[in-house]
């Protein structure tokens, strides 16, 4: 081969090498883009909710792709305690200040507070995970009230105590994707459905905890809970809360969750309840009550719905008079959201009918018992509990911005039974007896609530409510118009 041919062959080989290098680099770039497209998006931070044990930050051990949303608290959300990273600690807290002023409480009857009071609450927590199957969760409560002009109650103050302290053991029932059985034992918060029978009592200053044993099985489509619980008797001083040995509850609660192709959700449940010192009107005795319930809920094409049906039966044994319990309730909340309209308004209607007693002289009881319902049941101002009521409540929600929401509502209240009185929220304390009036109409309530979610961690809210007396209130005592103002600042991490 002559010199010219050798140079030509070397040039050809050099060109091929350069072309191969270009193809290799281009393939690498394309594969890199493909890998980015195929890679799963970084996991989102779990929402901060009232029940903090639902949050799981274990994904942070694979990197900090989603840690930016947790700033500046990301270092506290995942603290590895083992080289493999599957043993870790999560720390968090809630701090809330809430000012309330209620003018003419109970329509002007009984003790009054003219200048309002301030609730302060701190809820620090620690969540320790040992792999996927063992966990210990603890949460303290420090709640105080300032400038309250009448005696403090268990919902106002609990200076320092254990709110939650439980352990979880998870038992897989098959392969990795199959359901597992979780056993939970200890002090814990319980909430089910819409909170009409079991909830946190989150709105007031002191939450309602339970000493309970619970087992549950859950999949993406359904969940089944079984529990036995005794409420905690919250007291005012430090570490003096005790299990309430007068009351107990047990339940089998099943939920079929809605999904996009099947938007109808369903709860079916049984709840048993025993109270050794139950009070109805003027009678005190032993109450054994069983509740059968069903709830239909979901949303589709702008509509949302939440219907619940309750039937209660059992025995009420008072000295010298043993009676039967037969009570019921129907509750609903139906709305439509105009998703394409300015401010995305939601127009909705709540309606409830809740049974009351038909004869106070008869030992039989028809008054519905809401057991352990949510705090602020019918709104920011909730002078009435869900017993012996007909309640109709049209309301509207406007999204003034992505973070700012305004709700307005009007509520109308009647007695379901003219032979029964009206009851406070929490327990079965009767505010006014039913024998002083033939009128069913209790009164009218109007309310405005403005909520601003400043950031993931900070929210502020303010409300104004008014409750005017109806014929029943006018006939049975003081009948002044109630005015309520509430302002709240809350920081959670």
**What digits encode the pLDDT tens for the residues 430-486?**
999 999 899 999 999 999 999 999 999 999 999 999 999 999 999 999 999 999 999
Longest dimension (CA), the chain: 127
User: HEC string of 37-55?
Assistant: HHCCCCCCCCCCCCCHHHC
Q: Report residue 406 as tokens.
A: 């305004």
Query: Residue with structure tokens 């309002």?
Result: 116
> Residue 84 has what pLDDT?
87
The mean per-residue pLDDT over the stretch 100-115 comes to 92
**pLDDT grade for 308, boundaries at 50, 70 and 90:** very high
Give the whole-angstrom CA distance, residue 128 versus residue 134.
9
Q: Where are the alpha helices (DSSP H) in 86-234?
A: none
- Per the listing, tokens 């079984």 go with 226
**Which tokens sit at 420?**
């029964």
Judge whether 337 and 345 are in contact, CB under 8 Å: yes
pLDDT above 60 for 37: no
Q: Are 352 and 313 in contact (CB under 8 A)?
A: no
Residue 326 has pLDDT above 70, yes or no: yes
Residue in the block written with tokens 């549950």: 216
Coil, strand, or helix at residue 13? helix
60, 457 contact by CB (below 8 A):
no
**Sign of the CA dihedral with 477 first, then 478, 480, and 482 last:** negative
pLDDT band at 168 (very low <50, low <70, confident <90, very high): very high
pLDDT digits (tens, 9 = 90+) for 406-435: 999 999 999 999 999 999 998 788 999 999
Assess whether pLDDT exceeds 90 at residue 189.
Answer: yes
Confidence of residue 25 (pLDDT cuts 50, 70, 90): very low
- pLDDT, mean over the chain: 90
Question: Residue 42 — pLDDT band, cuts 50, 70, 90?
Answer: low
Rounded-to-integer distance, Cα 374 and Cα 267, Å: 18
Domain definitions of the chain by residue range? 93-492
The Cα 65–Cα 80 span in angstroms is 17
What local confidence, expressed as pLDDT, does residue 34 receive?
A: 37
The topology (CATH level 3) of 93-492 is: Porin (2.40.160)
More confident residue, 177 or 87: 87
CA distance 322 to 316: 6
Q: Report the pLDDT averaged over residues 245-265.
A: 96
pTM of the full structure: 0.89
9: pLDDT strictly greater than 60: no
* Residues linked to residue 121 through DSSP beta bridges, in sequence order: 96, 143
The answer to whether the beta carbons of residues 385 and 426 sit under 8 Å apart is: yes
């Amino acid at each position: 081969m002559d010199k010219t041919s050798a140079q030509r062959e070397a040039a050809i080989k050099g060109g091929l090498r350069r072309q191969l290098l270009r193809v290799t680099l281009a393939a690498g770039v394309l594969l890199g883009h493909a890998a980015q497209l195929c890679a799963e998006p970084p996991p989102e931070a779990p929402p901060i909710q009232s029940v903090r044990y639902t949050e799981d930050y274990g994904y942070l051990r694979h990197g900090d792709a989603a840690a930016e949303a947790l700033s500046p608290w990301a270092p506290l959300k995942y603290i590895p305690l083992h080289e493999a990273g599957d043993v870790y600690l999560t720390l968090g807290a809630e701090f809330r200040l809430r000012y309330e002023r209620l003018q003419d409480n109970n329509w002007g009857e009984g003790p009054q507070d003219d200048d309002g009071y301030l609730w302060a609450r701190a809820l620090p927590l620690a969540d320790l995970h040992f792999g996927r199957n063992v966990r210990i969760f603890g949460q303290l409560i420090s709640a105080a009230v300032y400038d309250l002009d009448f005696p403090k109650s268990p919902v106002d103050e609990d200076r320092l105590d254990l709110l939650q302290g439980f352990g979880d053991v998870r038992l897989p029932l098959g392969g990795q994707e199959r359901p597992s059985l979780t056993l939970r034992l200890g002090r814990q918060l319980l909430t089910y459905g819409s909170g009409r029978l079991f909830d946190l009592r989150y709105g007031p200053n002191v939450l309602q905890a339970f000493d309970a044993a619970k087992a549950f099985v859950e999949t993406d489509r359904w969940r089944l809970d079984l529990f036995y619980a005794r409420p905690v008797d919250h007291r005012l001083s430090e570490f003096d809360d005790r299990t309430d040995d007068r009351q107990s509850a047990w339940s089998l609660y099943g939920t079929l969750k809605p999904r996009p192709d099947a938007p109808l959700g369903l709860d079916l449940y049984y709840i048993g309840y025993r109270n050794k010192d139950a009070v109805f009107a003027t009678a005190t005795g032993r109450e054994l009550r069983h509740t059968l319930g069903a709830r239909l809920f979901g949303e589709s094409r702008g509509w949302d719905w939440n219907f619940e049906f309750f039937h209660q039966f059992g025995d009420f044994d008072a000295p010298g008079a043993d009676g039967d319990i037969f009570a019921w309730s129907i509750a609903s909340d139906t709305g439509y959201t105009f998703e394409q309209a300015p401010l995305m308004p939601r127009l909705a209607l709540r309606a409830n009918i809740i049974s009351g007693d038909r004869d106070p002289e008869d030992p039989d009881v028809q008054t519905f018992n809401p057991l352990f319902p949510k705090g602020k049941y019918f709104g920011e101002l909730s002078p009435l509990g869900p017993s012996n009521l007909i309640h109709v409540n049209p309301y509207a929600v406007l999204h003034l911005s992505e973070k700012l929401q305004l709700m307005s509502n009007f509520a109308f209240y009647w007695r379901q039974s003219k032979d029964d009185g009206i009851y406070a929220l929490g327990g079965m304390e009767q505010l006014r007896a039913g024998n002083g009036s033939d009128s069913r109409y209790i009164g009218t309530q109007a309310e405005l609530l403005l909520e601003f979610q400043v950031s993931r961690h900070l929210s502020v809210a303010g409300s104004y409510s008014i409750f005017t007396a109806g014929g029943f209130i006018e006939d049975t005592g003081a009948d002044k118009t109630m005015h309520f103002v509430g302002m709240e600042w809350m920081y959670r991490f």
